[in-house]
Amino acid sequence: MQRSRFFRFVFAAALSGAFSLGAQATALPLPSDNLPALRIQGSNTIGAQLGPALVVGLLTQQGAQNVQQQSGTRSNEIRVVGQMPSGQTLSVEIAAHGSSTGFTALKAGQADLAASSRPIKNSEVSDLAALGDLRSQNAEQVIAIDGVAVILHPSNPVRELSINQLARIFCGEIHDWEQLGGTGGAIHLYARDQQSGTFDTFNELVLARFDKGLARDARRFESSEGLSDEVSNDRQGIGFIGLPYVRKAKAVAIIDGESKAMLPSVSLIATEDYPLSRRLYFYLPPESGQRWAKALVRFAQSPQGQSIVAQNGFVAQTIQAVKVRPTSQMPLEYQNLTREAERLSVNFRFAQGSASLDTKARLDLKRVVDYLKAHDKLDQKVTLVGFGDAKSDPARAQLLSKLRAMAVRRELLKSQVVLHDVRGFGDEMPVATNDVDEGRIKNRRVEVWVE
């Protein structure tokens, strides 16, 4: 991935959504007895950098002065402190020990908000049922998109790897770089620790798919930065990490089934086409009366919050129009579309086993409509393009893909968006394997194109 290009995009995204964090906002109640206004626990990917930055933004919006980040009593713990206009010192505590610890803390009453770099598990939903449905639209909040980057030493000649190869590497079956076309030598494995949402994501998308487990000799890290720095200093090393922590290492392109090789670029992660893309979440118990937690969730979804997401190296959900270069692998009709229109940086996807849009897509609808209004594209300027997973009957695959696009059309019509066209391309141009449920879900998508 070209770093300069990445940061140019980040800067542009920051500017597009940025306005004064000191804008007027509803004043929040101040806690008594010097208690923290908010307690957040969970993902190190979020808590190490992004979470504190969002808290700083919220406190600044609330009028706090001299906002500072202080080290907590343990590693990977931070306290954000600010002086309110009333003179009271206000604090927010953030503990970043892994996604699973956030859900454990919610149950124990030790956190108001869980930060997670993976979706909540069925077992956790059941375990926390007393707090309400943590998968409901008000509880599950996507705050950013990230990509799990597979990283090597910068001098390693290997440029791309398949999901299958990654599984065999990290379980120990492929143990020498010569087996992958690289310079000979033992492969050294680096992985996040057991509590990490990054590890959960990698385990689910790579290892578990092939019934593999992580090799026992893999070195484990709680710190994202520490893992990346070790790989960038080890010529035989390979690891996986969240996108902002690639640092001095080299990211390789990933292939999933019949998909093309994809680097963890901003545009491919924004649309979630990159095979190891993932969503970053805040989970707020739906019956919670914690107003600071609710305010932080709202702030994270706002233009100011998404600007902070971009500034911290993650991929914001701010809508951008991207010019796509046609290739010979694309259907001819799709090639023509790339010459006539630009693609918006979002894909609409559907809840598992459902024809309903998922929780992220509901908010994306509003973002798309806001973009179309701002750019005068409401009237016959939009084409929806549906895709699906492989079926035994190609005609059925094509029909289902168009019906998905029609489902998005119905929602956009509620906001007076008059479409130019709706098309279905069936199982063409897969972004993931069709051999597993997760891959089929990713392939069932709807793109938005604007003239």
**pLDDT one-digit tens code per residue, 287-338:** 898 999 999 999 999 999 999 999 998 999 999 999 999 999 899 999 999 9
Co-location of 285 and 139 in the same domain:
yes
CA distances from 37 to 134, 290, 337, 392 (A): 22, 9, 51, 56
Please calculate the CA angle 389-163-390 and round it to the nearest 5 degrees.
Answer: 10
Three-state secondary structure readout of 321-350? EECCCCCCCCCHHHHHHHHHCEEEEEEEEE
Co-location of 111 and 156 in the same domain:
no
pLDDT number for residue 249: 97
Q: What value does the mean pLDDT of the chain take?
A: 90
Confidence of residue 358 (pLDDT cuts 50, 70, 90): confident
Check pLDDT > 80 for residue 17.
no
Co-location of 333 and 302 in the same domain:
no
171 within some domain: yes
Domain that holds residue 177: 146-268
Co-location of 139 and 151 in the same domain:
no
Q: What is the pTM of this model?
A: 0.81
- Determine the angle formed by the axes of helices 291-301 and 51-61, rounding to 10 degrees: 100
Domain end among 248, 268, 288? 268
Co-location of 249 and 297 in the same domain:
no
Among the listed ranges 66-75, 108-117, 388-397, which one has the minimum average pLDDT value? 388-397
Query: Any idea what the CATH number is for the domain that residue 361 is in?
Result: 3.30.1330.60
37 within some domain: yes
Co-location of 159 and 89 in the same domain:
no
Query: Any idea what the CATH number is for the domain that residue 305 is in?
Result: 3.40.190.10
More confidently predicted of 71 and 169: 169
Quick: pLDDT tens for 130-171. 999 999 988 999 999 988 999 999 999 999 999 999 999 999
Residue 172: helix, strand or coil by DSSP?
A: coil
Co-location of 97 and 191 in the same domain:
no
275 within some domain: no
274 within some domain: no
Burial of 262 (0-12, 13-18, 19+ CB in 10 A): buried
Co-location of 21 and 105 in the same domain:
yes
pLDDT number for residue 221: 94
Co-location of 210 and 231 in the same domain:
yes
Quick: pLDDT tens for 174-205. 999 999 988 889 999 999 998 888 898 899 88
Q: How many CB atoms lie within 10 A of CB 362?
A: 13
Co-location of 7 and 139 in the same domain:
yes
Check pLDDT > 50 for residue 172.
yes
Co-location of 260 and 287 in the same domain:
no
- Regarding beta strands 321-322 and 140-152, do their DSSP bridges make them parallel or antiparallel, or are they unpaired? unpaired
End-to-end CA distance of the chain: give it in Å, rounded: 28
pLDDT number for residue 11: 36
CA-closest candidate to residue 105, choices 293, 277, 244 = 293
273 within some domain: no
Check pLDDT > 90 for residue 373.
yes
In the chain, the number of structural domains is 3
Tokens 């597979």 — which residue? Answer: 150
Co-location of 19 and 117 in the same domain:
yes
Q: What share of the chain is helix, strand, coil (3-state, %, to 5)?
A: 35, 25, 40
Among the listed ranges 5-14, 216-225, 333-342, which one has the minimum average pLDDT value? 5-14
Check pLDDT > 60 for residue 22.
no
